[in-house]
Structure 1
């Protein structure tokens, strides 16, 4: 939902995402652009080099037989949904 809101604001031309300062490992803000890029690279290298958890027994298999209708909605369904959204 947030992505939809952000995209709508962007298209309307009233969008400015606040910039947050990047911090080093000790919590100090980094001001230089190149240092920020280097910190991002280091962060993702560290993050992606971690091994996956070995205990996968707690993860249940996904339920695959979902009651989803793959057909396009009818005009009546669309009308009913719009009424529900508008509160009527």
Structure 2
């Protein structure tokens, strides 16, 4: 695997994570200052769904560090259900 391909793959994973962080920040800002977008159960289902999608993406891309981070987030979210 060339270093150019690996660098591009890392940039893609970082871009996906950055997009998720931005979504989290926007959603939390709206929840705090404007109104609740989803009821609490809907919130939990939304974040579990997003976590599953990201786990699959990181597993397919073989980005195991990001995969572990998402697994921890998923486990913490499920324990807080």
Find the structure with the greater CA-based Rg. Answer: 1
Q: More strand by proportion, 1 or 2?
A: 1
TM-score range, shorter chain: under 0.3
Q: More helix by proportion, 1 or 2?
A: 2
Relative CO higher for 1 or 2, CA cutoff 8 Å, sep ≥ 6?
2
